[in-house]
Copies of this chain bind each other. A is one copy, B any other.
């Protein structure tokens, strides 16, 4: 058990959840900045070499959770662990971003889908990918097929 401790904050064009592209085929290509707290700067050493980063962050404007949710991209309820719903038992969000450049404690990235001011909990290098040919995407693929 631990208590979350922000290592930085997201600077994003989205000030309100309604502005974030949602649903099927939503593209997350917004530019943003991951502003890391100065005391953690040594932890960024050599991060420039990675093209993509996994950002783990906190849904700080979400309260409570529900185990069955109806996502915007479908009209049927699914288990929260089969969705990206913000209302989760642990309010942890995850986004894969492209690292464009680093300026000291600022990581300039593409692909943010977080609200402005979102606390960052961790950053990890994105190392390997599973080929899209082997991926099954459950109810999301079914919902896409129905809308075609």
Given known contacts A2-B4, A90-B7, A125-B137, is B130 in contact with A96 (CB within 8 Å)?
yes
Residues in B whose Cβ lies below 8 Å from that of A18: none
Interface size class of A (residues with CB under 8 A): 35 or more
Query: What mask results when residues 28 to 56 of chain A are scored 1 for a CB within 8 Å of chain B, else 0?
Result: 00000000000010111111111110101
Judged by a CB distance under 8 angstroms, whether A123 is at the interface is yes
Question: Do A54 and B90 touch (CB < 8 A)?
Answer: no
Roughly how many angstroms separate A148 CA and B128 CA in the complex, as a whole number? Answer: 19
**Main secondary structure on chain A at its contact with chain B?**
mixed
Given known contacts A49-B82, A67-B42, A125-B140, is B5 in contact with A3 (CB within 8 Å)?
no
Roughly how many angstroms separate A81 CA and B40 CA in the complex, as a whole number? Answer: 9
